[in-house]
Amino acid sequence: MSKLFADRAAGLSGSAIRATFKLLADPEIISFAGGAPSPDLFPREELEEIAARIFRDKCNLALQYGITEGYAPLADFVKARLVSQGVIRAGESVIITTGGQQVIDLTARALVNEGDVVVAERPSFVGGLNCFRSYNADLRDVPVENDGLSTDALEEMLKTTKIKLVYTIPTFQNPSGITMSLAKRKRLLELAEKHDFYILEDNPYGELRYRGEDVATIKSMDETGRVIYAGSFSKILSPGLRLGFASARADILEKLVVIKQITDVHTPTLNQLLAYEFVTNYDLDAHVRRSRELYGHKCAVMLGEMDRRFPEYCEYTRPEGGIFLWCTLPDRFDSKELFNRGVEKKVAFVPGDSCMVDMNKKYSSFRLNFSNTADDKIAEGIKILAGVIEEAAAQ
Amino acid sequence: MSKLFADRAAGLSGSAIRATFKLLADPEIISFAGGAPSPDLFPREELEEIAARIFRDKCNLALQYGITEGYAPLADFVKARLVSQGVIRAGESVIITTGGQQVIDLTARALVNEGDVVVAERPSFVGGLNCFRSYNADLRDVPVENDGLSTDALEEMLKTTKIKLVYTIPTFQNPSGITMSLAKRKRLLELAEKHDFYILEDNPYGELRYRGEDVATIKSMDETGRVIYAGSFSKILSPGLRLGFASARADILEKLVVIKQITDVHTPTLNQLLAYEFVTNYDLDAHVRRSRELYGHKCAVMLGEMDRRFPEYCEYTRPEGGIFLWCTLPDRFDSKELFNRGVEKKVAFVPGDSCMVDMNKKYSSFRLNFSNTADDKIAEGIKILAGVIEEAAAQ
């Protein structure tokens, strides 16, 4: 018998995460492990009204095949919004994707050969890491500091290593909540130009700032087409609709389209019409403001409880936006062991190793999500978690 | 400067097809080139009613993240239907995908290494061929005879060649409309077991039989897990919703799920709920019967016009189901040249080379689609096409 699976697929396994999800199906568990937006923000009545109108007036369009680039009016809206935000210039194009994850996948598939060096942040988003793993990239990492990924560490790596792609979530990073400084963004771009690598700027949380000042996207400063920009409707409208978008240099974007065509032909038409009718008939900015307020409030609730309950040796980020924060304990702690203790006590989070290129070491850090948990449950969960940490410390 | 695109992506180009689509945007053109279902069959009122109910009662479910395997009630429905059709056994599983194309892509990604031999039918579906090309498979073909792919040619190939995967559309094949005989299906399975290869049975049209008797699917006779089965809601409900499904041996299906997770996380939840509510509140079988009747009628209209108008040296298939037929002219004709003449005269079809592993030769065959053209336009288009053929013959 020859080998069943292709080399790129042989090592892929979702079993750890899937086992975790099974644990989390227990309704008594307070889960800070997910990354789901609050359903309180779903525009139920608006979408009900829009759906009725679409099935009445545009049914044949909504249910028929569409073009791979996406429903043109929605792509035009996204383009105009990105232009108004300064992310892209007027002449640049946008394609609509089946969620933001698809942009990562299409980019990896278009650019990354087996063995090519892809640099991710330490820590980074598990869905991004697994995607690059699936193409047998030579996956490396550079640490995330308080002002974003270490460009010094990247420069050091560049002395000996040819890099193909840097994968970054510069704004309200998943999982750390950290935002990269403007200076580092500029430095990263300079390095990309000097050393001929590309940057995938994944920005699903960028609109969710609840304090501080916006920092220019890396894409907005890109003069030479080094940046592939990924955006998403998941955190500002609905993740279940699976709507994302990408912008990049014309030749790269064209390649993403050609690959998307053989992947899923096109993003579901109905979903694109729903989003388009929502943004044209209702006030997306007002909707985003409500999201910011809610998540800012929830973040403050969680941080307040952590300040009150967590032992002093716990360090954690204080994000200015997004839906995650990152907690680091002294080295002697093992986040996986804490996770197991937590689940026993009915509280869950994402242990650090899931967010790492090297998953086989012990990590004393973990990710907490606050976007989809009621305030009293945040308080209760943090109290339990503080107890779990103290219990682990005592042993 | 190092190479921008990965080897797998470098050769991919959608420009020929996309150029064609631009030509076809001309509203005066009678197009037999597409593969879209008739919008007359879209259950507009039913889906309007269902959508209103979903946004009222299940909005949080419909708009939130879902699991990669698919919405369990819909997966259970598909499973029960496939069991009742004899395609799978009671213990087997099903996953929901973002259209049928995604099953091809996930299967290729899971099983096919660069250089692995993948055998397709000659002619075959362009979206399948391009997908295998994108993984740098060593793509070969065997001819489709009147009773399906030539198992003799496959056996001959197996004498010298190790095959990894055979990609077949055995029922109402795209583009030929031909159905593989039961004997050949059994033979294909025997060869797969003897020579250790896998079979991707792509069956988006299987329910659209308008005459003759059903032939057992290859999957239904598979005792050892050699067959990955791909199905779709595109031709029996709506392509714009992008809903497909796959069934395969547990270890293969699990791998497809792990890959799907890093591709698009999950198939849009709303779309899965729409389909589930449709099949549970309305009569899918009755809906499929209406589709069969309409396509049977349209096929008969097209064949009747071809019998009346086409020169005697034209040969074409007489499908028992599906939405395509395949026309073959004497070798001296070039289907690409005919296509260009046709577009000038405002009629379009798919020239044979798009359906071939070797696209660089001339082909005298072409594909005609009849599912989405009004009867009078079918008559008008076939009349024009007959004139185009006669004009080309005279030169």
Task: Kindly write down the DSSP assignment for every residue of B199-257, as one continuous string.
Answer: EEEE-SSTT-B-SS-----TGGG-SSS-EEEEEESTTTT-STT--EEEE--HHHHHHHH
**Are A59 and B36 within 8 A, CB to CB?**
no
**Residue B356 and residue B123 in contact, taking contact as beta carbons nearer than 8 Å:** yes
Contacts with A100 (C-beta within 8 Å, 6 or more apart), sequence order: A202, A204, A230, A231, A232, A234, A244
pLDDT, tens digit (0-9, with 9 covering 90-100), for B57-75: 999 999 999 999 999 999 9
Which of B42, B98, B135 is nearest residue A60 as measured by Cβ atoms? B42
Burial of A90 (0-12, 13-18, 19+ CB in 10 A): exposed
**Are B52 and A48 within 8 A, CB to CB?**
yes
Report the first-to-last Cα separation within chain A, whole angstroms: 50
**Are A55 and B56 within 8 A, CB to CB?**
no
- Does the domain spanning A46-281 belong to CATH 3.40.640.10? yes
Residue B169 tokens, joined: 């559309």
Q: Give the bridge partners for B95, in sequence order.
A: B246
The domain B7-42+286-393 is classified under which CATH number: 2.40.50.140, 3.10.50.40, 3.40.1710.10, 3.90.1150.10?
A: 3.90.1150.10
When the pLDDT of each residue in chain A is averaged and rounded to a whole number, the result is: 96
Is B22 strand, coil or helix?
Answer: helix
**Residue A172 and residue A203 in contact, taking contact as beta carbons nearer than 8 Å:** no
Tokens 């791998």 belong to residue: B255
The alpha-carbon gap from A393 to the nearest alpha carbon of chain B, in Å, equals 35
Q: What is the DSSP string of B75-116?
A: HHHHHHHHHHTTSS-TT---EEESSHHHHHHHHHHHH--TT-
Which residue, among B57, B64, B116, B200, would best test binding to A if mutated, counting the most A CBs under 10 Å from its CB? Answer: B64
The pLDDT, as a whole number, for residue A14 is 66
pLDDT, tens digit (0-9, with 9 covering 90-100), for A298-351: 999 999 999 999 999 999 999 999 999 999 999 999 999 999 999 999 999 999
Instruction: Report DSSP state, residue A293.
Output: H
Express as a percent the part of chain A with pLDDT over 70: 97
Contacts with B322 (C-beta within 8 Å, 6 or more apart), sequence order: B171, B172, B173, B174, B177, B205, B208, B295
Which residue, among A64, A256, A269, would best test binding to B if mutated, counting the most B CBs under 10 Å from its CB? Answer: A64
**Residue B133 and residue B12 in contact, taking contact as beta carbons nearer than 8 Å:** yes
The whole-model pTM stands at 0.97
Q: Give the bridge partners for A349, in sequence order.
A: none
Which of B52, B131, B264 is nearest residue A102 as measured by Cβ atoms? B264
Task: Round to whole Å and give the CA distance between A129 and A358.
Answer: 10
Which of A6, A111, A239 is nearest residue B109 as measured by Cβ atoms? A6
The domain B64-281 is classified under which CATH number: 3.40.190.10, 3.40.640.10, 3.30.70.2660, 3.30.365.10?
A: 3.40.640.10
Chain A residue numbers with beta carbons less than 8 Å from the beta carbon of B116 are: 6
**Are B63 and A47 within 8 A, CB to CB?**
yes
Burial of B331 (0-12, 13-18, 19+ CB in 10 A): exposed
Which of A7, A37, A255 is nearest residue B9 as measured by Cβ atoms? A255
In this model, does residue B15 exceed pLDDT 60?
no
Length of chain A: 395
The alpha-carbon gap from B314 to the nearest alpha carbon of chain A, in Å, equals 31
Weakly modelled stretches of chain A, pLDDT under 70: 1, 14-22
**Are A39 and B55 within 8 A, CB to CB?**
no
Q: Residue A150: name the closest of A137, A141, A139, A161 by CA.
A: A141
Average pLDDT for B134-162: 98
The pLDDT, as a whole number, for residue A15 is 52
Which of B36, B47, B101 is nearest residue A262 as measured by Cβ atoms? B101
Characterize the bridge pairing of strands A350-351 and A347-348.
Answer: unpaired
Predicted complex ipTM: 0.96
- φ and ψ of A359, to 5 deg: -85, -5
**Are A266 and B116 within 8 A, CB to CB?**
no
Q: Residue B262: name the closest of B110, B82, B140 by CA.
A: B110
Query: Which sequence spans correspond to the domains of chain B?
Result: 7-42+286-393, 64-281
Annotate B62-81 with b (16+ C-beta within 10 A) or e (fewer): bbbbbbbbbbeebbebbbeb
pLDDT band at B19 (very low <50, low <70, confident <90, very high): low
Average pLDDT for B22-42: 90
Rg of chain A in Å (alpha carbons): 21
Size of interface A-B (CB pairs under 8 A): 235
3-state secondary structure B298-311: HHHHHHHHHHHHCC
Task: Round to whole Å and give the CA distance between B289 and B60.
Answer: 34
